[in-house]
Amino acid sequence: RKKFLSLYDGAVYKLGIMLGLIILAVLLISYSVFASIQSDQTRLEVATKKLKRLNKKLENVSYTDSLTSMHNRRYFNLVYERELKRAKRTHSHITFMMLDIDHFKQFNDHYGHQDGDTALKAVANTLKTTFNRPDDAVYRLGGEEFGVLFSANNEEGVEEISQKVLDNIEALDIKHEYSSVSNHLTISIGAGIIDSTNTQSADKLYVEVDSALYEAKDSGRNSYEILTI
């Protein structure tokens, strides 16, 4: 009996040690797995944040003109819908203005594309400083064509700002000897005053204001045409 009890106690002791080692191994493995999961989760969170930042940068690039750092026409389509809704809420008007540099092809042909890019930047900066209210939004629509979306409740106000733009562009004093309009760079403007009840899409608005711009060009350029939509 004593021998049996001795063997039993020895077996229990060994079993206890074995179970202790197994439990310790399980704990070590669990800790290792948990630490790995935590590390993976941290790396995943860091990667997700980086991906969000990259997506934001890509989104900004897709909406921004690289030469002038202005927003492009794609972004205008988004902002127009938002501004139209705001105008409806406040029972106000918004104005969309399109601007085109006069005889810019001749400018590029004779002075070169590098000077052409310099002129585009100068025009862009002038528009940014002219339209500097918080709600003013200036765009490069493509090529030598720019756009502005701003608040204006009457034609007199739009005429005043249009003339100011013409004067500010001429004040740049950029030489353009190959223009039939002036010896210096000039611009033509078409503008549409949009009533808050208007439900036109951005594309339809673009077509209407573009027709006003061409009227300004047909009337001799370095001028503006305004219509109410």
* pLDDT grade for 101, boundaries at 50, 70 and 90: very high
Q: Tell me the whole-structure pTM to 2 decimals.
A: 0.75
Digit-coded pLDDT (tens) for 12-31: 777 778 888 888 888 888 88
- For residue 113, the SS3 value is helix
Single out the residue of 159, 140, 128, 138 nearest to residue 100, CA to CA.
140
Is residue 194 scored above 80 in pLDDT?
A: yes
* pLDDT grade for 2, boundaries at 50, 70 and 90: low
- Sequence-distant (6+) residues with CB within 8 A of 90 are 196
**So what's the pLDDT on residue 199?**
67
Q: Which residues are catalytic?
A: 144
Mean pLDDT of 38-44: 76
Mean pLDDT of 24-52: 78
Digit-coded pLDDT (tens) for 125-179: 999 999 999 889 999 999 999 999 998 778 899 999 999 999 999 999 999 999 9
Is residue 189 scored above 90 in pLDDT?
A: yes
With vertex at residue 65, the alpha carbon angle to CA 60 and CA 69, rounded to the nearest 5 degrees, is 80
CB 79 within 8 A of CB 137: yes
Query: For the range 4-10, what are the long-range contacts, defined as Cβ-Cβ under 8 Å and sequence gap of 24 or more?
Result: none
Strongest mean pLDDT among 36-40, 117-121, 195-199, 203-207: 117-121
